[in-house]
């Protein structure tokens, strides 16, 4: 069986720095892409994944912050997601990313967000999260659609350390889904 972690684009890669295109129509290809991303996310035990992380430069995100085992999967599929509110106290938390195997970094983000996105049925959905993993995950994944990754939130010197650690982790064989 092929290792689904091989499907993940790993930094540094220009595809992770690219503004993704809005999805104009929910085609069978988009549905298949969402399914592929969900499979990759569960296989690598991530809580979210963005389309550029599998090399597709479109505004599609899959998130599941709730699942604890394979019997309890409830993936949210977000098409063209937009953060309409980001406020509340900034919280600094450790984040990992499937595209940065073997490292975590401390990122400060607003603690409350409201996000609007279409689902696979084309319905406009609204998601609100406060002080939890979902609040972080929504911001982290939506960043990916605009060519922004977690290390872009760091200072230049912190970013250099993170990239050095990433190179070392990759050299030591770290795989997507593994964090320090």
Residues that bind Ni ion (CB under 5 A): 97
97/141 Cα distance (integer angstroms)? 9
* Comparison of 63 and 97: residue with beta carbon closer to Ni ion: 97
Mark whether 90 is an active-site residue: no
Nearest distance in Å: CB 98, Ni ion: 6
* Comparison of 97 and 135: residue with beta carbon closer to Ni ion: 97
1/8 Cα distance (integer angstroms)? 16
* Comparison of 97 and 107: residue with beta carbon closer to Ni ion: 97
Given 24, 39, 82, 141, the catalytic residue: 141
Most distant CA pair in the chain: distance in Å?
45
| Position with the least CB separation from Ni ion | 97
Nearest distance in Å: CB 49, Ni ion: 7
Count CB neighbours of 95 within 10 A. 21
| Strand extents, DSSP E, 24-167 | 48-50, 60-63, 76-95, 105-118, 124-130
Active-site positions?
141
């Amino acid at each position: 069986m092929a290792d689904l972690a091989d499907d993940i684009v790993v930094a540094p890669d220009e595809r992770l720095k690219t503004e993704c295109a809005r999805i104009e129509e929910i085609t069978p290809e988009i549905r298949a892409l969402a399914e592929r991303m969900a499979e990759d996310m569960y296989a690598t035990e991530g809580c979210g994944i963005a389309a550029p992380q599998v090399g597709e430069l479109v505004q599609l995100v899959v998130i599941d912050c709730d699942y604890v085992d394979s019997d309890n999967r409830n993936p949210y599929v977000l098409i063209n997601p937009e953060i309409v509110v980001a406020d509340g106290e900034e919280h600094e938390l450790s984040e990992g990313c499937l595209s940065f195997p073997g490292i975590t970094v401390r990122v400060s983000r607003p603690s409350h967000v409201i996000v609007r996105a279409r689902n696979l049925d084309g319905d406009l959905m609204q998601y609100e999260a406060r002080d939890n993993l979902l609040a972080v995950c929504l911001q982290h994944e939506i960043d990916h659609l605009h060519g922004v990754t977690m290390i872009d939130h760091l200072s230049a010197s912190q970013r250099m350390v993170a990239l050095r650690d990433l190179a070392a982790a990759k050299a030591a064989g770290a795989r997507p889904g593994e964090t320090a």
